[in-house]
Chains A and B, each alone.
Chain A
Amino acid sequence: MKTWIAGAAMALAAMAGMAQADGHGDYPERPVMLMVSYGAGGATDFQARIVTMTAGNEDALGVPIAIVNRPGAGGRVGWNWLASEADADGYTLGAYNVPHFIAQSIEGGVSYSTDSFEPIANWGADPAVFVVGADSEFNSMEDVIAYAKENPGGLTFSGAGLFVGHHIAALQLEKAADVKMAYIPNNAGGAGAMRAVIAGEVMGGVNNLSDAFRAQNAGNVKILGIFDTERSDFLPDVPTMQEQGYDIDNASVNYRGVMVPKGTPQPIIDHLAETVPAMFDNDRVKSRMEAGGSPMRIMSRDEVIEMWAAREETLKELLAGL
């Protein structure tokens, strides 16, 4: 009996030692890197810097998180790197943008898919909205669709590029209203797309809620509808697309969060999945995000896994026709 206990104790000690040797026991020991696949100063980069600023606190990771930008090709460069070259040791995290990376993986030509990454937590959700210039004749989505029906393919509207949230929203609108419109992807991103609307180069546009909110406050645009299932706290007066009679869900909402490459040890994933959502749920972070006009939506790892799967299904169906 005594030998059995001694043996068990030794086995336990050995296991604990092994865990220590793998480095999971006291993870993290050194600063962690968060790869952002867009340039410094963009919305994703800006928000990533805010939500990780408390990482060094004792109740969070206990070590600072350094943001490293790997921009290029609409995010493909950074995500390719994370999927194929990054070390899966828990010290390399990546920021994701859904639906962008899922749509790109369905389109092809990249070396990642949802299976290449393990989600950790979601911090924000920025829905797309439909905007028109302040002096536009359109005052509701009904006006827009009526014009599009009269002039098939003649209604020009801008967005941030192909296979991003704006493009998905545009496809959904065309499908739900059964019209043909001219989507003009802008090479200067959301800011360029917004400029095209304000300058009157295009008749309307799909843009981020946070940017459109600022532009509306500045008196430059009217916001006609939100591509989400519920209204936003920032814009309580703007109806959703569903309320206006178009069957459009939240597939184009730009979710932002943290993920790690596949192959990261499970104990580290569990540790991060536990601490990271709590780190986002910090008063200082929340007040900064609100001041910047960035809507927050904290989701746990399990919720994100579900959201990714649901998104992939919708997008496959939507993009199949292209």
Chain B
Amino acid sequence: MDFLFYMGDVFSPINFGLLMLGTIGGLILGATPGLSPTMAVALLIPFTFQLEPQQGLILLGAAYTSTVAGGAVSAILLKIPGAPANIATTLDGHTMALKGEGAKALQLSFLASAIGGVFGVLLLIFLTPVLAQWALAFGPSHLFWLAILGVTVIGTLDSSSVVKGLLSGCIGLWLATIGFDDIMGAQRFIFHPAVSGGINVIPALIGLFAIPQVITMFTKGRSSDDAEVIGVKKHPIRLAVLEVLKRRTALAIGTITGSVIGLIPGVGGQIAGLVAYDQSRKASRESAKFGTGHSEGVIAAESANNAMVGPSLVPLLTLSIPGSPTAAVLLGGLLIHGIFPGPDLFMNYPQVAWTFIDSMLIGQILMCIFGLYVAGLAASVARVPHGVMAAVVLGLAVFGSYSVQNSMGDVYVMASLGLAMYFLERFGFSAAPLVLGLILGPIAEANFIQGSMIADATIGKTAYFFTGWLNWLLIGIVLASVGYSIWMELMHRRYTTKDDAVAKEEALS
């Protein structure tokens, strides 16, 4: 119960002030497209030079938790996911916002985030030694199968057509091959210096989601002078709480999937939201409603991406290995104060370590309170006229893509992918499977090649990839997922014609 003992430290005036600063600042940074949690934390590190280690970490911990949740704001209101973690939130969240239920979607997302987040931090507090073993259990062969599991989600992610979902996933996988291959040292498809480092996920994400939006908004703004204004319905917080409690299945699936997958170094954070969304759709009794502004979709996705925050720090705090880019930045923040994470971190620096964890716990709750407070205000974004909105989104998209690597090349990548996506969307393809392909491609490829190199030197490929209970388990889940999709496909044949796609597009936007 050490964490309760140090809980008091969080509430000392300076510490609590920093916690508030980190939370509010984090929400704003997170809501800005392109500023991912990793970048937000990296931006704050220089400020911690002047602070005590404990205070610096409170600031970083609070900022980390709230930027992840803040990403939902732009995902829901603008359909621009702040980070890969928020992709799944756009699927139902933005549809809700278009129906005038933006306030409700935001409230649900902050509540679900807080519940998932608190659960994740509690796991970090109580189960760290067990979780550390789990984080180490995933070798190249397991990560390969996990990526394949992600690929099986691609086909069903787009609710309109399996074939089109798979096709856009393939486009994503192809885009992922561009650039330098880190393992073999080959240069692939580098036709312009802007893509020599490969297609960065964040600019691609912004382009694929935001640009088709912008073009649609511009065309609408022209076609009719009295473009319908979306009314923003007020939504009492009490109802949002009841709604979240009613959707227990989605909440449980989101939280558990998020914390389990979030733990796996290098993979977790990016796909936790999408996998949780897909699983909760498969488990839901109202699975047909997913994608049309269904509350379960938002709850599952957001509880998953915040549940991942606590467990994602386990490898860093216990083994001293950063499991995600954000954890690597946090490692820098620890080292600069001379604190070496490892199994004896909690013995040597209990005051720093426990206060840091406590600040993430309290940060989740503060984040939820502030989030609920601004939800009503933020939702009125939907009232902004289309023309103005399009200009603002376009500005944010350019700013967000540029700021990732300070590179104009990324802006060109964003713009060209976005333009291409506009036409693809007209024909019923959607962006989420494409991005998933882009994320999973490198994971599957790198781990397959690494695994093969190890296998060739030791026991051979077949034995390496097909033995061991974890491999069997993952292969089993992959087969079950594929089987379920085929069965669903046979039960309700889904396909989309061009006319359906246009009709759907017009009904939504």
How many Å from the CB of B453 to the closest CB on chain A?
Answer: 5
Q: Judging by beta carbons under 8 Å apart, are B458 and A156 in contact?
A: yes
Q: Judging by beta carbons under 8 Å apart, are A73 and B196 in contact?
A: yes
CB contact list, A64-96 vs B, under 8 A: 68-74, 76-77, 80-81
For B458, list chain A residues within 8 Å (CB). 154, 156
Is B242 located at the chain interface by the 8 A CB criterion?
no
Q: Judging by beta carbons under 8 Å apart, are B196 and A184 in contact?
A: no
Q: Judging by beta carbons under 8 Å apart, are B197 and A76 in contact?
A: yes
Per the bound structure, the CA–CA distance linking A39 and B140 in Å amounts to: 23
Q: Judging by beta carbons under 8 Å apart, are A184 and B453 in contact?
A: yes
Nearest residue, chain B, Cβ from A152: B457
Chain A interface bracket (under 10, 10 to 19, 20 to 34, 35 or more) = 35 or more
Is B153 located at the chain interface by the 8 A CB criterion?
no
Number of interface residues of B (CB under 8 A): 56
Per the bound structure, the CA–CA distance linking A71 and B329 in Å amounts to: 14
A74 and B340 in contact, given A40-B39, A40-B329, A293-B335 (Cβ under 8 angstroms): no
For A112, list chain B residues within 8 Å (CB). none
Per the bound structure, the CA–CA distance linking A153 and B405 in Å amounts to: 39
Nearest residue, chain B, Cβ from A154: B457
Per the bound structure, the CA–CA distance linking A268 and B155 in Å amounts to: 58
| Contact pattern, A 147-165, Cβ under 8 Å of B = 1, otherwise 0 | 0000001111000011100
Is B438 located at the chain interface by the 8 A CB criterion?
no
Nearest residue, chain B, Cβ from A49: B46
Q: Judging by beta carbons under 8 Å apart, are A185 and B182 in contact?
A: yes
Per the bound structure, the CA–CA distance linking A46 and B49 in Å amounts to: 12
Per the bound structure, the CA–CA distance linking A79 and B387 in Å amounts to: 41
How many Å from the CB of B483 to the closest CB on chain A?
Answer: 30
Q: Judging by beta carbons under 8 Å apart, are B342 and A156 in contact?
A: no
For B340, list chain A residues within 8 Å (CB). 214, 217-218, 293
Q: Judging by beta carbons under 8 Å apart, are B406 and A218 in contact?
A: no
How many Å from the CB of A188 to the closest CB on chain B?
Answer: 5
For A77, list chain B residues within 8 Å (CB). 196-197, 405, 407
For B39, list chain A residues within 8 Å (CB). 40
Q: Judging by beta carbons under 8 Å apart, are B335 and A195 in contact?
A: no
**24 pairs, CB–CB < 8 Å, chain A vs chain B:** A39-B325, A39-B328, A40-B38, A41-B45, A41-B330, A53-B49, A73-B180, A77-B405, A77-B407, A109-B187, A154-B458, A156-B453, A162-B182, A182-B457, A185-B183, A187-B183, A187-B450, A199-B137, A201-B140, A214-B320, A218-B320, A220-B320, A291-B335, A292-B336
Contact residues of A with B, CB < 8 Å?
39-42, 45-46, 49-50, 53, 68-74, 76-77, 80-81, 107, 109, 153-156, 161-163, 182, 184-188, 191-192, 194-196, 198-199, 201-202, 214-215, 217-220, 288, 291-293
Counting from the closest, the 10 A-B pairs by CB-CB distance are A72-B197, A218-B342, A291-B338, A41-B329, A40-B42, A182-B457, A73-B180, A292-B335, A187-B446, A77-B197
